[in-house]
């Protein structure tokens, strides 16, 4: 699955902190794939903004192919659907939602 930096950050935030043993193993594997490496952080020049957010250069808008498993995708998809149902999605979720829920990408 191809994800850009924002999508990777959003997906990481959507992974639950608690679950059964099998789910936690899936989540741990997903986090390892989604996290930005030191080399990636340097390449995109990721920095904290004055308002507490994160900013990066244009390289971070490029998609990176990640071998995210179907179970991890389903966990993230279900979280997105739950946020949608509660009307708690943000603009930052849109492209990830399209890729996992609408399958437009």
Tens of pLDDT along 33-77?
999 999 999 999 999 989 888 899 988 889 999 999 999 999 999
Centre a 10 Å sphere on the Cβ of residue 18 and count the other Cβ atoms it contains: 7
Distance CA 99, CA 56 (A): 22
Give the whole-angstrom CA distance, residue 105 versus residue 70.
16
Say how far apart CA 77 and CA 90 lie, in whole Å.
Answer: 15
pLDDT band at 92 (very low <50, low <70, confident <90, very high): very high
pTM (whole model) above 0.85: yes
Three-state secondary-structure class, residue 66 = coil
Pairing of the two strands 64-65 and 54-55: unpaired
Quick check: 79 pLDDT over 60?
yes
Please state, for a pLDDT cut of 90, what percent of the chain lies above it.
83
Tally the domains of the chain: 1
Average pLDDT score over the chain: 93
Q: Which domain holds residue 10?
A: 2-102
Higher pLDDT, 51 or 88: 88
pLDDT at 103 (0 to 100): 66
Q: What is the pLDDT of residue 105?
A: 40
């Amino acid at each position: 699955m191809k994800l850009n930096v924002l999508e990777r950050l959003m997906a990481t935030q959507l992974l639950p902190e608690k679950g059964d043993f099998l789910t936690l193993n899936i989540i741990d594997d997903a986090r390892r794939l989604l996290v930005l490496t030191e080399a990636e952080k340097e390449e995109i020049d990721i920095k904290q903004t004055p308002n507490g957010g994160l900013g990066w250069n244009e390289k971070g808008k490029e998609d990176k192919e990640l071998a995210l498993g179907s179970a991890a995708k389903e966990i993230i998809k279900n979280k997105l659907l739950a946020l949608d149902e509660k009307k708690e999605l943000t603009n930052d979720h849109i492209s990830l939602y399209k890729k996992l829920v609408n399958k437009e990408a």
